[in-house]
């Protein structure tokens, strides 16, 4: 009975709402993308109402009948939007129905994400968005530290190329400024024991981090603070990738020859691991999207909760 109600309520009505929201977001007609979002939303809605029945209203009186919530769902997909659905979806329905509680909201958001991640095109958009966001956060942290240590003059005023460090100043631990010298190694130690070493050369910034456990990590940034490369303190082959089966949505295995193979693992909440193993199942390369944690002392890589 629930499924038949959903098919009638979430047919053309929801499809048209998605189409309008998508056009407002992209100013383009994309029937294929509308259809994919529609299917994922309908499947997640079916799971939701099968679990909660009419506790939070029938489909036409629930929070899913609210246009602003459909807008939030559509807009949350795109790169320029940083909506957290668990915070942006209104829990209120219509006709005096009970407000959605936190547990039910998280359940719906999780189901919607799982169905979207099963769709090739939607999962690609979501993973790329997560990667962009994660990369920006990482870059912002490193460049934020660099900005605390350096003061750069406007390149246009100096009449020098944008990739030049000419005119940059650097501060020591006491806040004293001096002209930055390219090729010179600078050192900064913090009261908590963390140490950073920097070198600025040929438009690149080289950063070495020594953490509280004596482990070193290396970063290479361009002049704008974009991380171009990084290295772990131990060979990658010594690390283990730890993923519990209940977190995996889909896994593809591709044979590469000579015993090497590639695994593309799509997980809940937009996480993804694209890894290459040798015949001993030792890591050879790894590309991670979404939230991950690297424990260097234990030499393990695992998704964040």
Q: How confident is the model at residue 204 (pLDDT cuts 50, 70, 90)?
A: confident
Domain boundary among 197, 231, 265: 231
In the predicted structure, residue 4 carries a pLDDT above the cut 60: no
Per-residue pLDDT of 50-92, as tens digits, reads 999 999 998 888 998 888 888 888 888 775 555 678 788 999 9
State mean pLDDT over 283-303: 79
Q: Are residues 298 and 208 in the same domain?
A: no
Q: How confident is the model at residue 99 (pLDDT cuts 50, 70, 90)?
A: very high
In the predicted structure, residue 95 carries a pLDDT above the cut 80: yes
Q: Are residues 7 and 113 in the same domain?
A: yes
Per-residue pLDDT of 221-252, as tens digits, reads 777 666 666 667 678 888 899 998 888 998 88
Domain boundary among 96, 118, 140: 118
pLDDT at 268: 83
pLDDT at 101: 93
pLDDT at 25: 63
Dist. CA 34–CA 38, nearest whole Å? 6
Q: Are residues 211 and 283 in the same domain?
A: no
pLDDT at 27: 52
Q: Are residues 240 and 227 in the same domain?
A: no
Per-residue pLDDT of 35-54, as tens digits, reads 888 888 989 998 999 999 99
State mean pLDDT over 150-158: 47
Dist. CA 107–CA 43, nearest whole Å? 13
Query: Are 66 and 90 in contact, with CB atoms under 8 Å apart?
Result: yes
Q: How confident is the model at residue 155 (pLDDT cuts 50, 70, 90)?
A: very low
Dist. CA 171–CA 161, nearest whole Å? 23
Question: Cα 23–24–26 angle (5° rounding)?
Answer: 60
The count of domains in the chain is 3
In the predicted structure, residue 112 carries a pLDDT above the cut 50: yes
Dist. CA 178–CA 171, nearest whole Å? 7
Query: Are 277 and 263 in contact, with CB atoms under 8 Å apart?
Result: yes
Q: Are residues 47 and 114 in the same domain?
A: yes
Q: Are residues 109 and 17 in the same domain?
A: yes
Q: Are residues 69 and 161 in the same domain?
A: no
Residue 223 sits at φ, ψ, to 5 deg, of: -65, -20
Percentage with pLDDT > 90 across the chain:
10
Q: Are residues 108 and 132 in the same domain?
A: no
Question: Which one is predicted more confidently, 222 or 212?
Answer: 222
Instruction: Give the structural domain span for 77.
Output: 2-118
Dist. CA 303–CA 298, nearest whole Å? 15
Q: Are residues 261 and 289 in the same domain?
A: yes
Domain boundary among 210, 231, 252: 231
Q: Are residues 66 and 172 in the same domain?
A: no
Q: Are residues 85 and 105 in the same domain?
A: yes
pLDDT at 153: 45
Q: Are residues 24 and 74 in the same domain?
A: yes
pLDDT at 134: 59
In the predicted structure, residue 120 carries a pLDDT above the cut 60: yes
Q: At which residue do the structure tokens 């290479």 appear?
A: 220
In the predicted structure, residue 98 carries a pLDDT above the cut 90: yes
């Amino acid at each position: 009975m629930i499924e038949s109600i959903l098919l009638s309520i979430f047919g053309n009505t929801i499809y048209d709402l998605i189409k309008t929201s998508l056009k407002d977001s992209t100013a383009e007609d994309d029937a294929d993308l509308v259809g994919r979002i529609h299917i994922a939303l309908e499947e997640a809605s079916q799971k939701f109402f099968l679990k909660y029945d009419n506790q939070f209203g029938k489909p036409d009186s629930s929070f899913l009948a609210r246009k602003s919530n459909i807008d939030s769902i559509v807009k949350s997909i795109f790169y320029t939007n940083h909506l957290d659905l668990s915070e942006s979806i209104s829990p209120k329905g219509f006709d005096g129905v009970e407000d959605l509680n936190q547990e039910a909201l998280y359940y719906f958001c999780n189901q919607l994400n799982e169905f979207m991640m099963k769709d090739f095109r939607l999962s690609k958009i979501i993973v790329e968005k997560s990667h962009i966001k994660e990369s920006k956060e990482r870059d912002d942290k490193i460049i934020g530290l660099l900005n605390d240590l350096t003061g750069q003059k406007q390149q246009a005023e100096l009449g020098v190329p944008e990739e030049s460090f000419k005119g940059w100043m650097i501060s020591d631990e006491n806040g004293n400024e001096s002209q930055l010298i390219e090729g010179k190694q600078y050192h900064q130690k913090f009261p908590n024991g963390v140490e950073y070493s920097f070198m600025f050369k040929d438009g690149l910034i080289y950063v070495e981090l020594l953490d509280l456990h004596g482990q070193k990590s290396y970063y290479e940034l361009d002049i704008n603070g974009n991380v171009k490369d990084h290295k772990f303190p131990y060979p990658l082959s010594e690390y283990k990738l730890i993923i519990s089966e209940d977190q995996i949505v889909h896994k593809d295995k591709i044979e590469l020859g000579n015993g090497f193979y590639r695994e593309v693992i799509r997980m809940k909440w937009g996480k993804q691991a694209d890894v290459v193993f040798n015949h001993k199942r030792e890591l050879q390369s790894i590309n991670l999207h979404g939230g991950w944690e690297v424990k260097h002392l234990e030499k393990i890589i695992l998704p964040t909760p």
